[in-house]
Structure 1
Amino acid sequence: MRASAKIFWILGVFFLIVAVAYGFLTGMFQPMGVEPVGFPAMLALAGLAFMVAMVLSLTARKNDVGPSDDLNAEVEEHGGVQGSFSPYSWAPLWTAIGAGLCFLGVAAGWWILAFGVIFAVYGLLSWVLEFSVGQHQH
């Protein structure tokens, strides 16, 4: 966990330096000024790397040292529970169908997008509320 956090901190700094250099160079040599797509995209890439680094750093503080941080660790030490997944859930299927219809709607006809949104919202809500024990439990 700590090694992954360090990697993302380094990537974030690298992308930030590259974004500043790219913005400076395109500002000097482009007749219209700073290039409007690449510079914000690289800043967003640096921001995403910093966000992942922050999450990994905070997670590493809360948890013990894992096998990935131990130089003498074996592969089998990293085994165990990786998360809680529902084995017979239909929600990912409905969400994928909705996403596919949304993309098809943009390409083929906007009326298809409405059906895609309906399927995607239904699938996403059922996926999020799948393990709910409150008002919307299954």
Structure 2
Amino acid sequence: MRVQAFMFYGCAVFFLATDVVYWLWSKDWTGTTVLALAFGLAGLIGFYVHFTIRRLEGGNGGPLYEDDPEGEIADAAGELGFFSPHSWWPLYIGGSAAFVSLGMVFGWWMVLLGGAGLLLSTVGLVFEYYRGHFAH
């Protein structure tokens, strides 16, 4: 995955160069700001991926399976993580986010209700497996 980090670094350099050229030719603050934010986002993601890979490589003592040119698909077999097979909370989060979006069009009271619903459903998703029947 080290390649992905350098791909994001390359995107950040591209956005920076594009931002400078765009500012010199257009003198437009809007596009310049958007390109500067794109540069920052690509650099941030590249740094995060690079940092995470360095931490993971230190944990198992070598390169990751996907970085090994001689690696086989079976080398990375095993558990990838835990994914909830029955959770309804993502549906509630999506509905609350849609309510917030509609609230920006129709009225701020909907934004407040949707924000409260979004907060509650996010807490429900995060703490789903801490209490009750499905507690670990």
Normalising by the residue count of structure 2, what TM-score does the alignment of the two structures yield?
Answer: 0.79
Q: Which amino acid aligns with 1:39?
A: T
Q: Which amino acid aligns with 1:23?
A: W
From the superposition, tell whether residues 40 and 132 of structure 1 become closer, same or farther in structure 2 (CA, over 3 Å).
Answer: farther
Q: Which amino acid aligns with 2:48?
A: V
Kept in 2, the 8 Å contact 1:101–1:116? The answer is: yes
From the superposition, tell whether residues 121 and 58 of structure 1 become closer, same or farther in structure 2 (CA, over 3 Å).
Answer: same
Q: Distance in 2 between matches of 1:131 and 1:47?
A: 35
C-alpha deviation, 1:83, in angstroms = 2.8
- CA RMSD after TM alignment: 2.3
- Specify the alignment match of 2:68 in structure 1: 70
Q: Which amino acid aligns with 1:108?
A: F
C-alpha deviation, 1:2, in angstroms = 0.7
- Specify the alignment match of 1:93 in structure 2: 91
More helix by share: 2
C-alpha deviation, 1:21, in angstroms = 1.2
Alignment gaps of 5+ in structure 1: 28-34
Q: Distance in 2 between matches of 1:54 and 1:16?
A: 16
- Specify the alignment match of 1:30 in structure 2: none
C-alpha deviation, 1:131, in angstroms = 4.4
- Specify the alignment match of 1:57 in structure 2: 50
- Specify the alignment match of 1:46 in structure 2: 39
Deviates more, 1:104-113 or 1:1-10: 104-113
SS of the counterpart of 1:63?
A: helix
Alignment gaps of 5+ in structure 2: 58-62
Kept in 2, the 8 Å contact 1:94–1:122? The answer is: no
Q: Distance in 1 between matches of 2:104 and 2:50?
A: 39
Deviates more, 1:94-103 or 1:63-72: 63-72
SS of the counterpart of 1:82?
A: coil
Identical residues among aligned pairs (%): 30
